[in-house]
Homo-oligomer: A and B are copies of this chain.
Amino acid sequence: MVTMQDVAERAGVTKQTVSNVVTGRVAVRPATEARVRAAIAELGYVPNLVARSLATGSTRTVGLFVPTVSAPFYADVVEEVEDALEERGYHLLLCTTRLDGERARRHLAGLTSRSVDALLIAGDQGLTGHLPLLADVRFPVVLCAWEAPLPEGFPVVTVDYEHGGHLAGRHLRELGHERVAVLASPAHTVRVEGFRRAFREDGITVPDGAVHLAAAPTFRGGLDAALTALRTDPSVTALFATHDVLAAAAMEAARALDRSVPEDLSVVAHDDTPEGLLSRSALTGVVLPKREMSRQAVDLALQAITTPLRPTPGPRLLLPRLTPGTSTARPGPRHGER
């Protein structure tokens, strides 16, 4: 391996001068710089980043925990975070936790001490019990996309999920729906609360029995829950799905039960991926500011690397928006006939 020392000898300078040329931190006389650059090119010198990291104390790498990359929402978050990091000259170390706290714990242990400059944790699922571990960690931690109760002591950039649920509920109320069902992941209690609040404000109760939890956050799990929901109460005129995968399942369930969307059934979703790669182009959905959230989280983390954030800033709540699609309409004539 070619080292700085080799370059220095070739150029007839000391390695400190080579370092000055490479890092650009200190000005170097043009003639010297040219000699050094020529030597670098001739020898094919490439700086050893690990040695630099040891000397500077920075790896220029940030860790990201997400539950999975197979859910469109998190796939987008990963790419947004990667973009933001790349622009700032950082690498991305990815860990998927698969809703498994023990797995997250192992990953965290592997990241101990100085292998990343900071850690971003997107999504609270399966992690809340393991938060105390984060206190021992040597680098700043920023939480995002956090729906569980917000822990103290960590910077958080997240979405107002209650508001998101409320937007979905109000949309259905404005269309005139009264009897609705909810398809939810167990972790999405806050969105469900917001949704029910919208109905409550109009004097309508969405009963507990109308909330159907998907056993697993998969298409299959969602499909079963959706079929159950529509069979339990065939008179519902609309379905609220708390995330994108469940929404796809809801569409499929409607098809299976021969209810056309939106004529026979409205479907509104949370976490829609409107320009994504999936088949939900026309879904009415609450879209989350993924890009904004990712960038703010990255900025906060990089800032915390150089300047400890004392005191910890309060949580930043970004507002979701409702994007109208063609999956919702006024309740159809079938409403109440069954």
Contact = CB atoms under 8 A, between A and B. Distances in A.
Interface of A: 1, 44, 46-51, 53-54, 59, 61, 68-72, 75-76, 78-79, 82, 86, 89, 91-96, 98, 106-107, 110-115, 136, 138, 217-220, 223, 245, 248-249, 251-252, 275-279, 281
B219 A276 contact: yes
A113 B277 contact: no
A2 to B, nearest CB: 9
B59 A69 contact: no
A281 B222 CA distance: 12
A49 B115 contact: yes
B93 A223 contact: no
Given A82-B96, A93-B91, A93-B93, A50 B279 contact: no
Give the 10 A-B residue pairs with the shortest CB-CB distance, closest first: A46-B113, A248-B279, A94-B94, A49-B115, A70-B75, A69-B69, A46-B112, A69-B75, A245-B277, A50-B53
B76 A70 contact: yes
B275 A220 contact: yes
B115 A219 contact: no
A79 B68 contact: yes
7 contacts: A1-B113, A46-B138, A50-B53, A68-B75, A70-B72, A218-B277, A248-B279
Given A49-B113, A68-B79, A113-B49, A252 B279 contact: yes
Given A70-B277, A248-B277, 10 more contacts: A46-B138, A50-B50, A70-B72, A70-B76, A89-B110, A218-B275, A219-B281, A220-B281, A248-B279, A252-B281
